[in-house]
Amino acid sequence: MSTPPLERLQHDLDLIKAALPADFPYDRGSLALSAAAALCGVPFALRAVPGWDGPMLALLLAGVAAMVVAYGRWMRRARSERGNRPRRWSCARDEIVAGAIAVAALAVYAVLTRWLAEGANGWNFRAWRTELAGPVLFAFGAGMLALGVARPERRSFLGWGLALLSIGLAMPWIPSRAAFWAVGGVALTLGGLLSTLILWRQLREWEGAHAGD
């Protein structure tokens, strides 16, 4: 006797569920942090408004500080729950190490670039734009895009990667710092919201697939 359609469907769903990763490296805390990071693009963009640079910078720094505190708490929770969610902890730890290496390399590159520029034509907005900001933003954006394409669990990197890459490509045509605040803030907000949306969808699918676990 042939297998009833409902049993075949349940069997197929069980196979799909078994093929999915048992542990997704992000959770609702990651979703909140992604949304908060995207919203930080708003005061970044508003720095372009005359007279708003100081207040918006203070608001931006306060937001970043709050995110650092929240991320530290998320990391402590991920570490304490690593027995149940080992992949979340291992991925978070890898991202911390990779981020620290990237920041250190950026610092060295920035110091070297400024030193060379001051010895040539001086350090000004044009030198900062063409020799530091543009190449760095393009490289970081390309790297995040590559990670987002290569690793399904990191699809949420695509929004941030597109934002950084587009800013890097636009840098030669950005005439002033105020224009950079405006263009960069808008791109980061839109890219961050896109990443948050992708992460929300992935998290929803993973939670639905593992609802009975």
Decide if 8 is inside a domain: no
Per the domain annotation, does 15 fall within a domain? no
Is residue 148 assigned to a domain?
A: yes
Within a domain: residue 22?
no
In the chain, the number of structural domains is 1
Q: Is 14 within the bounds of a domain?
A: no
Q: Is residue 181 part of a domain?
A: yes
Task: Determine, yes or no, domain membership for 12.
Answer: no
Mean pLDDT of residues grouped by 10 in the chain (213 residues)? 61 52 81 96 96 96 95 91 85 90 91 84 87 93 93 92 96 95 97 97 86 60
Q: List, for residues 121-130, the tens digit of each pLDDT value.
A: 788 888 899 9
73 part of a folded domain: yes
- Mind listing the pLDDT tens digit for each residue in 39-51? 999 999 999 999 9
95: Cβ contacts below 8 Å, ≥ 6 apart? none
199: containing domain: 27-207
- Work out the number of other CB atoms within 10 angstroms of the CB of residue 131: 18
Dump pLDDT digits (tens) for 145-163.
Answer: 999 999 888 999 999 999 9
Cα angle at 41 between 35 and 42, to 5 degrees? 100
